[in-house]
Amino acid sequence: MAGLVELATPSIDAHPGEESEVGVLVYNTGIDDEAYDLEVIGSVSPWAFLDPSVVRLAPGDSRTVRLVLRPPRTGDTPAGPMPFAVRLHARADPEAEEVAEGTVDLVAFEAFTARLVPDVLEVASRGRARAEITNDGNIPIVVRLSASSPDDALALKLEDETVLVPAATSASVSVIVKPRHRRLVGKGQAALYTVRLESLLRVATLAGRAQPKGSLPSVVLRSILAGALLAGLVLGGRWFLSGDPEGPALSKKGLPTVIRNTTIPPDPGAGLTGVEEAPPASAAPAPPLGPPGAGGTIAPRPPDAAGPATAMALRRFFDPALTDYVYTTDSNEAGSLVAAGLVDQGVAGKVLTAKAAGTVALYRLKKPDGRHVFTFDEAERRSLVVKGAVTEKTAGYLYPSPATGTTPLYRMSKGGSLYLTADNGDVQSRLANGWVNEGVRGYVLA
């Protein structure tokens, strides 16, 4: 075909919600005037435009056409490289074509919305609300949640304190709400509570309200009242049938007593007033229901203690297809990795499965090229996420500085692959094979 097409630059950065452009050069290499049609092919075509899309050139002439990119700011298009091409057709020879290939690097952005459902929760002994999170960005996000009651009138518990929300999807976390002071009947004063959500770049706070209500069902209350009324009718009927014109006597507990053909022996200490005597001074008072100083209230239930942190082996698996190393303490995941063709290389060190005093999280991230990075440095993690890496999970917890019973965990690199080891002999062996020691990346259990 008598024509050529080239991109001014083969790689273009595009920011969702913004416009960017690159030049497309069209040449007439023939000996006749020619008209050319241009079109964009690939996944970028819904938001890529050529201006103009038809070019007429004399022999030997050229022209630069604008390729305008307007990616939408939604999560439907994931961040990362997107191959595309500009195809050139000469109208004189429609069967022939020329193609210029390039890549659009769609920049990652984070955005999420959240709401509390319901925002007003009626609760007797306990209730459940949901924090619903929608990821409006084009990368997965990890959201950390916490709940609080400003006046401490509510006991709050989150079923999950961390949730991973993929791009353009939603997730929800249950919030268990318990009033600290329960009621039998009626409604109490509404209590406020908040749920805080924090991602890598954003913080949001949801406000909710709990309306305490009586825990005694109305049907039970009606049954009690009906029973009391029935008891009154029975006692009244017995009095009526007894024929006593002065009515039933009252016992010391205030209950009517029917006296028929009964001789009451005198009570030498009762007196004639009918008033019950006070208990002896030596009688011990009834013990309080709560701790000292609590009066007659029921002591609140203490918070549940956190479970102990457990030391687990951090196993290393090698992916020969990507020259990648994956580390995990999860035996189920270990089985899946072996089934996927990865090689079990043994234990790299021992980490804790839960956070303990003085420890930090060891994050596992996956880079756009599919290989993994492990770090406890929050600044490094944020930098990797901005570059397109995804935080997959917390691999465990280790110490950021030396502690009793710990040993250094080294991170080594070669050709984009990262390797963790607590074995100094392993470090020396890899140094001899061209690996670079990036230094200590925390301290694991010896």
Name the pTM for this structure.
0.46
Give dist(CA 409, CA 423) in Å, integer: 8
Picking from 89, 106, 123, the residue at the C-terminal end of a domain is: 106
Domain limits for position 124: 112-212
Residue bearing the bigger pLDDT, 113 or 236: 113
Pairing of strands 324-328, 154-158: unpaired
Residue bearing the bigger pLDDT, 13 or 223: 13
**Are residues 408 and 319 part of one domain?**
yes
Bridge partners of residue 289, in order along the sequence: none
Inside any domain, residue 260: no
Q: How many CA atoms lie within 13 A of 62 on its CB side?
A: 10
pLDDT at 223: 65
**Amino acid identity for residue 53 in this structure:** S
- Is pLDDT of 253 > 60? no
- Is pLDDT of 257 > 90? no
Picking from 162, 194, 212, the residue at the C-terminal end of a domain is: 212
> Within a 10 A sphere around the Cβ of 370, how many other Cβ atoms?
10
Structural domain count of the chain: 3
The predicted model gives 59-86 an average pLDDT of 93
**Are residues 435 and 320 part of one domain?**
yes
Inside any domain, residue 274: no
**Are residues 189 and 85 part of one domain?**
no
- Is pLDDT of 293 > 70? no
- Is pLDDT of 209 > 60? yes
Give dist(CA 120, CA 129) in Å, integer: 9
The two three-digit tokens of residue 64, written as one number: 């630069």
Inside any domain, residue 422: yes
Mean pLDDT of the chain: 82
- Is pLDDT of 215 > 70? no
**CATH number for the domain harbouring residue 10:** 2.60.40.10
Give dist(CA 298, CA 190) in Å, integer: 20
Picking from 78, 106, 134, the residue at the C-terminal end of a domain is: 106
When pLDDT is cut at 50, 70 and 90, the band that residue 284 belongs to is very low
**Are residues 70 and 14 part of one domain?**
yes
Handedness of CA 118, 119, 120, 125 (dihedral sign): positive
